[in-house]
């Protein structure tokens, strides 16, 4: 996931020396394609006006935080790297509006998918906005209003938990229960993909403010962090050109899990192999470039967003 996509800032390095770069292995994955100038100009022309009164928080979230086309390409490539074939059945945990599920089924006529979320409001929004317009194609997806620890209808080739949503589990036994359920539910040659967010900056009380191409400002507000427990409270606010603001549009009462903790849990859940993919550095030497490569060492940045690939 690259800096323009992720909820928090994503990669921010402190100008590390070449010695500190991760050891790159086979399996390069390009996750984000930078928008070219023409594309940017086109977006600017057709801009809508958002205000706190009229804006829809789910729509703003999708614009600010998600890039489903790049995500799907990443998932396909990673699966091909391990399994040398195409994945067809996909499961999106914590699916929210189901944007990734909807993108997956549109990508190929044989693709099928399931999405899991416990919130009826967000699922209903997704059905209306992300599935109804697809007509017959939508019949290849099934949304479940269920806990992510519940089994799938069909064992998935790829199961994914994006945007750190599993941070909702505050106890190790809950995270383990979830990862065990994922292991048992996957197809025999399935993979489980989780993203994770870390680095020293993630433990600071701070705000990241970013202008979104569609014409509003996104704020990732790290409001609280308790080092004794890992408890972490963040919010998303949206600010508009007319000076209005949608404050606390989304709230995240999480535990900030460390990468090594999650790897240990995945291994305890039964996954024999867990590998991590790290983002490369942009020409400016500070930001991420959207290119993810497998690395054993990682990179010691101020903040980073990394993928965990758990292979069954």
Could you list the residues that contact ligand SAM (CB under 6 A)?
A: 65-66, 94-96, 116-119, 122, 147-148, 162-163, 165, 168
Name the residue nearer to ligand SAM (CB basis): 118 or 137: 118
**In this chain, which residue has its C-beta nearest to ligand SAM?**
96
**Shortest Å distance, C-beta 41 to ligand SAM:** 28
Do 17 and 23 contact (CB within 8 A), yes or no? no
Q: Judged by CB, which is closer to ligand SAM: 81, or 130?
A: 130
For residue 262, give both structure tokens.
């999650």
Q: How far apart are CB 104 and ligand SAM at their closest, in Å?
A: 12
Distance CA(256)–CA(235), nearest Å, equals 14
Could you give the strand order of the β-sheet that contains 206-212, starting from the edge strand earlier in sequence? 206-212, 216-225, 231-239, 245-255
* Shortest Cβ 29–ligand SAM spacing (Å): 18
Q: Closer CB to ligand SAM, residue 25 or residue 119?
A: 119
Rounded to whole angstroms, what are the CA distances from 28 to 3, 49, 71, 78, 272? 18, 39, 15, 9, 22
Local structure of 160: helix, strand or coil: strand
Beta strands (DSSP E) in 65-111 are 89-93
Q: What are 182's two structure tokens?
A: 């994922």
Tokens of 293: 């490569």
Least gap, CB of 57 to ligand SAM (angstroms)? 12
Cβ nearer to ligand SAM, comparing 120 with 243: 120
Cα–Cα nearest to 108, from 83, 89, 80: 89
Question: From CA 10, how far away is CA 89, in angstroms rounded?
Answer: 28
CB of 294 vs ligand SAM, minimal distance in Å: 22
d(CA 35, CA 32): 9
Min dist. Cβ of residue 306 to ligand SAM (A): 15
Give the Cα separation of 165 and 170 in Å (integer): 11
| Closest separation in Å from C-beta 168 to ligand SAM | 5
Minimal distance, residue 100 CB to ligand SAM, in Å = 7
Closer to ligand SAM by Cβ: residue 165 or 276? 165
CB closer to ligand SAM out of 66 and 281: 66
The two structure tokens encoding residue 164: 């750190």
Nearer to ligand SAM, 25 or 147 (CB): 147
- Between 83 and 172, CB nearer to ligand SAM: 172
Residue of 41, 62, 38, 39 whose CA lies nearest to 50? 62
Distance CA(108)–CA(192), nearest Å, equals 20
């Amino acid at each position: 996931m690259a800096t323009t996509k992720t909820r928090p800032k994503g990669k921010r390095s402190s100008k590390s020396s070449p010695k500190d770069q991760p050891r790159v292995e086979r399996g390069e994955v390009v996750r984000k394609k930078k928008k070219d100038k023409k594309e940017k100009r086109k977006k600017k022309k057709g801009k809508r006006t958002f205000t706190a009164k009229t804006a829809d928080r789910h729509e703003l979230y999708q614009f600010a935080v998600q890039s489903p086309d790049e995500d799907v390409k990443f998932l396909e490539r990673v699966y091909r790297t391990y399994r040398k074939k195409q994945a067809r059945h996909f499961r999106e945990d914590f699916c929210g509006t189901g944007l990734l599920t909807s993108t997956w089924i549109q990508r190929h006529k044989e693709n099928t998918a399931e999405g899991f979320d416990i919130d009826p409001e967000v699922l209903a929004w997704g059905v209306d906005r992300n599935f109804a317009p697809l007509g017959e194609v939508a019949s290849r997806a099934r949304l479940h209003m269920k806990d992510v620890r519940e089994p799938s209808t069909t064992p998935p080739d790829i199961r994914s938990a994006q945007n750190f949503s599993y941070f909702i589990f505050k106890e190790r036994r809950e995270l383990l229960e979830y990862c065990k359920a994922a292991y048992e539910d996957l197809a025999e040659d399935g993979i489980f993909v989780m993203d994770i967010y870390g680095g020293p900056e993630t433990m600071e009380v701070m705000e990241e403010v970013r202008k979104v191409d569609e014409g509003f400002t996104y704020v990732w507000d790290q409001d609280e962090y308790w080092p004794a427990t890992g408890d972490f409270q963040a919010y998303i606010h949206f600010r508009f050109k007319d000076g209005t603001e949608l404050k606390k549009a989304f709230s995240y009462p999480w535990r900030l899990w460390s990468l090594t903790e999650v790897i240990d849990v995945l291994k305890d859940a039964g996954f024999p192999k867990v590998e991590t993919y790290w983002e490369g550095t942009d020409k400016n030497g500070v930001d991420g470039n959207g290119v993810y490569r497998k690395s054993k060492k990682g990179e010691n940045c101020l903040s980073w967003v990394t993928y965990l690939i758990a292979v069954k």
